[in-house]
Amino acid sequence: MTHYDVIIIGTGAGGGTLAYHLAPSGKRILLLERGDYVRREKDNWSSRAVNVDAKYHTKEVWQDKNGAPLHPHTNYYVGGNTKFYGAALFRLRKEDFGEIRHHGGISPAWPITYDELEPYYTKAEYLYHVHGERGADPTEPWASAPYRFPRVQHEGRIQQLHDDLSANGLRPFHVPLGIMLDESNPRKSRCIRCETCDGFPCLMHAKSDAQVIAVDPALEYPNVTLLTNAKVTRLLTGPSGREVTAVAVQRHGADEVYSADIVVSSCGAINSAALLLRSANERHPNGLANGSGVVGRHYMGHVNSVLLAISKTPNPTVFQKTLAVNDFYFGDRDFEYPMGHISFVGKFDAVTLSAGAPPFVPGMTLDIMAKHSLDFWLTSEDLPDPDNRVTLGRDGNIVLSYRPNNEEGHKRLIRKLEHLLQHLDMHPRLIPRNLFVDTRIPLAGVAHQNGTVRFGRDPRTSALDANCKAHEVENLYVVDGSFFPSSGAVNPALTIMANALRVGDHILERLGARAAVPVEIAR
């Protein structure tokens, strides 16, 4: 059995970023990734291949709580789901780290404060090339440094919307985006600002995903090894149960075993929970590190909707995901509870609309709909319900049980947006008559999965301590989205990346390793 200093399971936002941070230490690091590299091919940018044929989704079949098959919209590749993400890289709000009262109940506090994570947010933004503008988002928390790169400009239709929303008293702002776009020098810019970004892998390697930004650079170090197609099936402990002594892997149909001083699970919130549950043994009868019983519980994935606002005004935007609105994040005069976040998805085309099967709009072809729609993405916080959970079926397969909660704020958010856009109709330049098509993202849409292996100070109510180390296992850490005790209402990836850097510092200290080369901070 080959022994390493650190084994990291999963190479997405959490695992990939951690590998990058640990690589310069000289410690022997093994990355185990169940997927392969995304093949670079024309289909990367085909709406049909990506959105209709779901070519890159796992073919694994899960079950919902009623035993019905669930085809999860998730991806197993080097870089994890960041290969496909929209690269909207938001910080949680400072208040999200404390307890917040919602219409549907309490969003619990985190065991760390925003101020503790802030330096790592700054480093993660720097590392992932985030383009943004400080001071424009009305709910944004304080930051110790400006963004490294300027905001990504709106195209005409979105700028028009921005101006109209501003004229109506809102404070729209530019989405912080992790793309390697140089608008001052388009000829040399790695990113070509195309229409197939959100949901698609980037053929140019110009999206700041975890493979391009973190895993590939980490592999430049001779002390870092990556095994692809290496699915971890179980973590084994020694007789005391206090230490992971072996990591069981299936690779190309063969069983292999590895060991390390420190083992980090970063399989994504659903798969990390499943791995711990599958690793139950005599000392851990309910699943590894699960004396509290919380492993797999409190699954959150946000309440998400796509809202198509279809107007007579054409929307020829290529890269649409540049505008967001947070004015209702914490509530409004007529609704005192948090509602959430409004932004955009990538521009839909007719092929994509055919996959989403939106309600038929009389008299309109999908092509006309696509050419006239503003394609909004609305995110609200769902609350951590212990009965929303990952369990294992009889064959060891993943079962995902989820009952939506805290929906009132989301419904209000949708109504706010509809009202606003209708109100904007008063404006001669805008929409003479809006038509809204509202689609709630189904359970299979697990893009924002989090919460299943929560961190906390009390081992009775959390599986991980504040450093994301398992309370009950001395050398086991979890650094994917599982650790969230509450989910906020902005996209999760930057928080996962920042936390991986934070936990990385702790692991380096524990290993007595020399500090990683610090990420330079722009000032």
Ligand X SMILES: Cc1cc2nc3c(=O)[nH]c(=O)nc-3n(C[C@H](O)[C@H](O)[C@H](O)COP(=O)(O)OP(=O)(O)OC[C@H]3O[C@@H](n4cnc5c(N)ncnc54)[C@H](O)[C@@H]3O)c2cc1C
8 A C-beta contact, residue 231 and residue 444: no
CA nearest 110: which of 487, 521, 518, 523? Answer: 487
Q: Which does 493 bind (CB under 5 to 8 A by kind): ligand X, ligand SF4, none?
A: ligand X
CA-CA distance, 170 to 38, in Å (whole number)?
40
CA nearest 4: which of 323, 283, 256? Answer: 256
- Is there binding between residue 84 and ligand X (CB under 6 A)? yes
- Is there binding between residue 288 and ligand X (CB under 6 A)? no
Nearer to ligand X, 165 or 300 (CB): 300
Nearest residue to ligand X on Cβ basis: 12
Which residue in 7, 12, 179, 502 binds ligand X (CB under 6 A)? Answer: 12
8 A C-beta contact, residue 300 and residue 108: no
CA-CA distance, 310 to 361, in Å (whole number)?
10
The contact set with ligand SF4 (CB under 6 A) reads: 179, 191-194, 196-197, 200, 202, 204, 206-207, 319
Which residue in 96, 125, 385, 480 binds ligand X (CB under 6 A)? Answer: 480
- Is there binding between residue 322 and ligand X (CB under 6 A)? no
Q: Which does 122 bind (CB under 5 to 8 A by kind): ligand SF4, ligand X, none?
A: none
Residue 59: DSSP 8-state: -
Nearest distance from C-beta of residue 480 to ligand X, angstroms: 3
According to CB under 6 A, which residues from 223 to 262 bind ligand X? Answer: 231-232
Nearest distance from C-beta of residue 179 to ligand SF4, angstroms: 4
3-class secondary structure per residue, 210-269: HHHHHHHHHCCCCCEEEECCEEEEEEEECCCCCCEEEEEEEECCEEEEEEEEEEEECCCH
Q: Which does 496 bind (CB under 5 to 8 A by kind): ligand X, ligand SF4, none?
A: ligand X
Nearest distance from C-beta of residue 11 to ligand X, angstroms: 5
Alpha carbon distances (Å) from 313 to 156, 424, 476:
12, 12, 55
Nearest distance from C-beta of residue 361 to ligand X, angstroms: 25
Nearest distance from C-beta of residue 85 to ligand SF4, angstroms: 10
8 A C-beta contact, residue 416 and residue 376: no
Nearest distance from C-beta of residue 377 to ligand X, angstroms: 9
CA-CA distance, 49 to 391, in Å (whole number)?
31
Which residue in 237, 271, 487, 499 binds ligand X (CB under 6 A)? Answer: 271
CA-CA distance, 223 to 217, in Å (whole number)?
12
Burial class for 33, CB neighbours closer than 10 Å (0-12, 13-18, 19+): buried
Nearest distance from C-beta of residue 457 to ligand SF4, angstroms: 40
Alpha carbon distances (Å) from 399 to 59, 236, 332, 388:
15, 23, 37, 11
Q: Which stretch binds ligand X (CB under 6 A): 45-53, 75-83, 212-220, 253-261?
A: 75-83
Size of the site for ligand X (CB under 6 A): 40
8 A C-beta contact, residue 402 and residue 388: yes
- DSSP result, 486-508: S--SS-SHHHHHHHHHHHHHHHH
Nearest distance from C-beta of residue 162 to ligand X, angstroms: 19
Q: Which does 390 bind (CB under 5 to 8 A by kind): ligand SF4, ligand X, none?
A: none
CA-CA distance, 21 to 14, in Å (whole number)?
11
Nearer to ligand X, 399 or 431 (CB): 399
- Is there binding between residue 381 and ligand X (CB under 6 A)? no
Nearer to ligand X, 34 or 129 (CB): 34
Q: Which residue has the tokens 């729209």?
A: 172
Which residue in 7, 10, 224, 259 binds ligand X (CB under 6 A)? Answer: 10
Nearer to ligand X, 127 or 269 (CB): 269
8 A C-beta contact, residue 43 and residue 299: no
Nearest distance from C-beta of residue 482 to ligand SF4, angstroms: 27
Q: Which does 231 bind (CB under 5 to 8 A by kind): ligand SF4, ligand X, none?
A: ligand X
List of residues contacting ligand X (CB under 6 A) = 9-15, 32-35, 76-77, 80-82, 84-89, 199, 231-232, 266-269, 271, 275, 447-448, 480-481, 491-494, 496
